[in-house]
Amino acid sequence: MQLHPLKVEPQNFSVQAANSESLHIEPRCSRGLVLHSLLCCLLLFACGCSTFSRSKAAHQQVVKSRQLTQEGIYAMQRGNWDEAERKLKEAKENCPYDIQSRTKYAETLWNKQEFHQAIEEMESTIQLSGEDSTLMVQLGTMHFEMGKYQEAEQQAEQAIRLTPQLASAWVLKGDIARGKSNLEQARNSYLRAIAIDRELPEVQLNLAQIFRESGEPHRALICLNQVENQHPPGDLPASLLIEQGITYKTLGRYEDASLVFAEAVKTDSNTPELMFQWAESEMLAGRLAKAQWIAQQILSRNPTHANSQQLMAEIPIRQQELVNTLRR
């Protein structure tokens, strides 16, 4: 079969067939089109390089911010608040949206007693975090420690609405209620916190004090025993020992109270008032000579301690009462 010459001429290519069983396509791209294509490729490449450069720079800022944040935290742990402030401020400037650096920066300002600036920093951090409940509790605690109970309660309530199972929010609510002398509300809030997290010794200690002050020393002692079980034997904090001693005295268990106070005196919380609690327990337990010796120790260091002076005056009276009882 013989093909007749055929020639098709579109704008940018041609198809020819002549005395052949093959079709030949011959593109006829103009030089301008080629240059345009090359220019587009160069522009895309340049944009890609620019984007990559910006991404790399942003990554470097994040890395530097995290490093500065860690250095700031180490400075906080050492109590070097000036260095911590410098590091964390620089970290925040390198990465303004990093929540950790901003939170630690606010904590540092607070420890430097720059209270209002710390609160402002924490408020802006909460906005950036999308209303983090834990940060709300921290802000509420700041307000509480400044005596601003209304602002503190607002933060606690909002945190509870967002995260009902957040134990720290219930603790803050209990602290506020206790600060306002609302012992019933404080007790209920503390109980709610312990129901969520049983490993809260400070809360259980506060709850024990509320039970004792409310005339329920037996329930107080149950709370104190639970706190004691969370500490290794022989390593009980002074705050626990003192509250145990006071509760034993309330229950009339003076010998137990004396033993506990004697242990508390060995700690760093050896104050004249603690020594007096020990002396009074010894007197109430009938060990008058020991009570007198302890009171003399207190007065040798603090001659104007009124409670010890009264105790020294009371001991001879009790001694005489004991002698009269024996004579009968």
DSSP states of 291-311: HHHHHHHHHHH-TT-HHHHHH
Sign of CA dihedral 109, 144, 134, 153: negative
Across the range 68-94, mean pLDDT stands at: 90
7-10: list long-range contacts, CB under 8 Å, 24+ apart.
Answer: none
Rg (CA), the chain: 38
175 vs 36, higher pLDDT: 175
Q: Give the Cα separation of 179 and 186 in Å (integer).
A: 9
| Per-residue model confidence (pLDDT) at position 211 | 96
Q: What is the mean pLDDT of the chain?
A: 85
Q: Flag whether pLDDT at 14 surpasses 50.
A: no
Q: What is the pLDDT of residue 130?
A: 86
Give the residue, 152 or 3, on which the prediction is more confident: 152
| Tokens 């050492």 belong to residue | 78
Residue among 148, 68, 130, 139 nearest 110 (CA): 139
Nearest to 90 by CA among 119, 110, 111, 70: 70
Look at residue 80 in the predicted model and tell me its pLDDT: 93
DSSP 251: T
Residues 65, 47 contacting (CB under 8 angstroms) = no
CA–CA dist 155, 149 (Å, integer): 10
Say whether 207 sits in a helix, a strand or coil. Answer: helix
| Among candidate residues 197, 245, 256, the one with its CA nearest the CA of residue 220 | 245
pLDDT at 31: 61
Residue-wise pLDDT tens digits, 156-192: 999 999 999 999 999 999 999 999 999 999 999 999 9
pLDDT value, residue 227: 94
Residue % of the chain over a pLDDT of 70: 81
Q: What is the pTM of this model?
A: 0.74
Pair type for strands 6-8 and 24-27: unpaired
Q: What is the pLDDT of residues 223-270, one digit of tens each?
A: 999 999 998 888 899 999 999 999 999 999 999 999 999 999 988 667
Q: State the pLDDT at residue 20.
A: 42
The pairing of beta strand 13-17 with beta strand 24-27: antiparallel
Q: Tokens representing 161?
A: 């609405």
Identify which has the larger pLDDT, 249 or 13: 249
Six token digits for residue 193: 């916190």
pLDDT at 4 over 60: no
Provide CB contacts within 8 A for 302, sequence distance 6+.
272, 308
Confidence of residue 6 (pLDDT cuts 50, 70, 90): very low
Return d(Cα 263, Cα 260) in angstroms, integer: 5
pLDDT at position 41: 57
What are 309's two structure tokens? Answer: 């002076």
Cβ-in-10-Å burial (0-12, 13-18, 19+) of 219 comes to middle
Instruction: For residue 207, give the nearest of 194, 193, 190 by alpha carbon.
Output: 190
pLDDT at 65: 79
Q: 17 phi and psi, to 5 degrees? A: -145, 125
pLDDT tens readout for residues 133-152: 999 999 999 999 999 999 99
Strand order in the sheet with 24-27: 6-8, 13-17, 24-27
